[in-house]
Amino acid sequence: MEKYQVRDLSLAPSGHRKIQWVRDNMPLLRGLEDEFIKTKPFEGIKISLSVHLEAKTAYLCLVLAAGGADMSVTGSNVLSTQDDVAAALADSGLKVYAYHGATQKEYDRHIEMCLSHKPNIIIDDGADLVTFLHDKRPDLMEEVWGGCEETTTGVIRLKAMEREGILKFPMVAVNDADCKHLFDNRYGTGQSTWDSIMRNTNLIVAAKKVVVVGYGWCSRGIAMRAAALGAQVIVTEIDPVKAIEAKMDGFSVMPMAKAAHFGDIFVTATGCCKTITTQHMMSMKDGVILANAGHFNCEIDMAALETFAEDKKERRNNVMGYKLPNGRWINVIGEGRLVNIDGHPAEIMDMSFAVQAMSAAYIRDNYKNLENKVIDVSSEIDDVIARRKLEAWGIQIDSLTEEQQAYLNSWQI
């Protein structure tokens, strides 16, 4: 089979430059790379990886390859794939199958090609590799020991597979590690979502009413950063506890049917479908902006909007205006797909991908004793990564004295 399918190999120098920049800003991965070069933990091991194919992911691939892994790589979202980065990986000798803007058919073909080297370990983002193996090519699953899942939506899909008793190998819920979701989902999504909305619209956030749909890890970060930019934030939720949290954090809370009347900018990040429907859109003001930061493009009901709208026109690059039957226009960024496709800051992904690399090693060491379930990242991995991150920042913390330890372990005052 072809060793790579990328748009244009001559783009590699630009990809290498991007990878070098993130490498300079990812000290945890650099540390792992140094270790892996010496210990070769993945020698002879085949890894298939599907994660947003931009520079940080490429560096993770190179770190795993430095540890001896035979890497086969694709992207988890055709719009986040960067062709120069894909070219740089191919130029570095890795198997790479990904195009920016691939059709669904091409995307499926790339997933199949990525899996065709019969991996031992899967690294997935949204569970597309795992579901493809189970649904379409179980014959490529024979040598799989297990894998790691990067995001909330992927973990939700894998847990559904586990409940139905069809998951055929253990999957580590990387997303659920403290060193992942506490920082990546909250601060990463919080920053990169607003970075993307501001670049795409070139409008001010201050003084706007921003409706944040959900108050989970991502949406909390999005709400926090909107407030910091000077917006008035309204949160919609279905979980009463999260709704109280949003209220106590100082935000207005109301159902979407009401919030739809007030918002200037709407941002979804729930992992749920149809959180903004055409009915909600009919209540919105003329000229509002809609963006989605959840994994799939069903959070804003784009399928319904496409048939419901009376007219549509491109307003800016990546911003589509839709004319509703009431004559008002609404503007959707990036087809309602994940808005922050340029990804999180490198320092954030440093932690997430350190969890990925160490969890892949965990699978290698433990797969024989693991059940075919979604499993938690071990607390030792979280602890090591947190300590290394602090060390990289030059921050020291206290540790318990023997007396304090004894006190905390005793029931006597």
Residue nearest to ligand NAI (CB): 216
Closest CB to ligand NAI among residues 66, 79: 79
3-class DSSP state of 97: strand
Q: What minimum distance in Å lies between the beta carbon of 225 and ligand NAI?
A: 13
Residue 99, Cβ density class (10 Å: 0-12 exposed, 13-18 middle, ≥19 buried): buried
User: Other CB atoms closer than 10 Å to residue 337's CB: what's the count?
Assistant: 22
Stretch that binds ligand NAI, among 3-11, 31-39, 269-277, 282-290 (CB under 6 A): 269-277
Chain positions 169 to 188 lying near ligand NAI, rule: CB under 6 A, are: 181, 185
Torsion of CA 291, 297, 299, 300, to 10 degrees: 60
3-class DSSP state of 158: helix
Q: What minimum distance in Å lies between the beta carbon of 267 and ligand NAI?
A: 10
User: What does the per-residue mask of binding to ligand NAI show for 203-232, with x meaning CB under 6 A?
Assistant: ----------xxxxxxx-------------
User: Other CB atoms closer than 10 Å to residue 255's CB: what's the count?
Assistant: 11
Closest CA to 91 of 109, 118, 73, 105: 73
Q: What minimum distance in Å lies between the beta carbon of 338 and ligand NAI?
A: 5
User: What does the per-residue mask of binding to ligand NAI show for 352-371, with x meaning CB under 6 A?
Assistant: --------------------
* Binding status of residue 120 toward ligand NAI by CB under 6 A: no
Chain positions 30 to 89 lying near ligand NAI, rule: CB under 6 A, are: none
Provide the CA 223 distance to its chain's centre, in angstroms: 18
Q: Find the binder of ligand NAI among 72, 76, 189, 191 (CB under 6 A).
A: 189
* Binding status of residue 152 toward ligand NAI by CB under 6 A: yes
- How many CA atoms lie less than 13 Å away from 168 in the CB half-sphere? 19
Q: Find the binder of ligand NAI among 80, 201, 297, 340 (CB under 6 A).
A: 340
Closest CA to 188 of 21, 381, 351, 18: 351
Beta-ladder partners of 58? none
Q: What minimum distance in Å lies between the beta carbon of 195 and ligand NAI?
A: 11
3-class DSSP state of 5: strand
3-class DSSP state of 388: helix
Q: Find the binder of ligand NAI among 77, 120, 196, 275 (CB under 6 A).
A: 275
Closest CB to ligand NAI among residues 72, 270: 270
* Binding status of residue 153 toward ligand NAI by CB under 6 A: yes
d(CA 120, CA 98): 21
Q: Find the binder of ligand NAI among 80, 270, 297, 356 (CB under 6 A).
A: 270
Token readout for 59 is 């560096």
Q: What minimum distance in Å lies between the beta carbon of 51 and ligand NAI?
A: 11
d(CA 95, CA 91): 9
Q: What minimum distance in Å lies between the beta carbon of 139 and ligand NAI?
A: 29
What type of residue is 97? Y
d(CA 410, CA 84): 58
Q: What minimum distance in Å lies between the beta carbon of 293 and ligand NAI?
A: 4
Q: What minimum distance in Å lies between the beta carbon of 333 and ligand NAI?
A: 12
Phi/psi of residue 159, nearest 5 degrees: -65, -35
What type of residue is 228? A
Closest CB to ligand NAI among residues 69, 291: 291
Closest CB to ligand NAI among residues 241, 395: 241
Which residues sit at the interface with ligand NAI, rule CB under 6 A?
Answer: 151-153, 181, 185, 189, 213-219, 236-239, 242, 269-272, 275, 293-295, 338, 340
